[in-house]
A = this chain, B = another copy of it.
Amino acid sequence: MNFASDNAYGAMPEILSALSAANAGAVASYGDDAITARLTRRLSDIFEHELSVFPVISGTAANALALATLTPPHGAILCHAESHIAVDECGAPEFFSHGAKLVTVEGDGAKLTPVSLAQALSHFQKGFVHHAQPATISLTQASECGTVYSVDELSEIGALARARDLHLHMDGARFANALVHLGCTPAAMTWRAGVDALSFGATKNGALGAEAVIFFDARVAADFAYRRKKSGHLLSKMRFLSAQLDAYLEDDRWLKAAARANALALRLAEGLAAIGGATLAHPVEANAVFVYLPDETIARLKKAGAVFHPWGAPAKDGRTLIRLVLSFATPESAITDFLAAAG
């Protein structure tokens, strides 16, 4: 009964097989290999756009490298107060960007809104050297609270970014979960809505450790290759990183895995609705359930062996907010057992 994170689970067997298949022979290193070329082609087809694709090994690396590419050292990055880049990356964006400033914005369900962004932007005077200069908006799709921006919501933020001459970055650590929830195309959820750079996640949804930083305009990505090398994120045996992503995308595996995780989350949420004292904190739109549970229920679940994290400060009414994350690989029995122990 492990709901601690989607990264608590391993990798898709097909991805492991792809590593073995990629092992044959001697090939050019550092990305000049056929598998990496195939991956770029495949992603460009999926996104209906020519892409600059840079595989890296972690979401923090993907986010920090992308943000540093979009944001000068004297720039500011607007993001949600609960965003991964603001809370859970130990200041990686500040390090990679050489001291850019993260400006945190509030909003329900860990989602930015044009209103909250405009309010935050009103504090910065353009061209005033004393102020960090807003350069980039970063949003997370699906969000850290398991909610999903609609295409309209994304497009509104994209329009705001364009109007203010800002770049738009999407942290897509759970990109597939958001995509299957919306049922739209990858193009609709990214460049058509104004996204300039995407951290395309695969690790949480079945890779061993593989993400791709994707740019929709090669000029924006001009110095990315140097940043990746200078930060130690260029792999010599790149084929093994690209092979993970390539197998992830092949045969719609990524979509099927995300659809399964999302469905499990909904089933768990429905089961919890029947539990006394349980209240969902956010709509369940991806693969995570945020629920207030009575502390005695939580104690019972822990005793039964359930693994999960409390989220934020305890509520004052004898209940605590917990996060339950579902994965492509979470066994269905985990849900049954959890609900049985909670009930």
* A interface list, Cβ under 8 A from B: 2, 4-5, 7-11, 13, 16, 19-20, 22-30, 56-62, 64-65, 72-74, 76, 87-92, 94-96, 98-102, 122-123, 129-133, 203-204, 208-209, 223, 225-237, 239-241, 307, 313, 327, 329-330
Contacts and interface: CB of A to CB of B under 8 A. Distances in A.
A90 B74 CA distance: 6
Contacts of A88: 130-131
Q: Is the interface of A mostly helix, strand, loop or mixed?
A: loop
B237 A203 contact: yes
Contacts of A72: 223, 226
Contact of A209 (B23, B60, B231, B235): B235
A333 to B, nearest CB: 12
B90 A95 contact: no
Contacts of A95: 73, 98-99, 230-231
Contact of A236 (B58, B73, B90): B58
A23 B8 contact: no
B27 A240 contact: no
Nearest to A8: B26
Contacts of A62: 232
B10 A229 contact: no
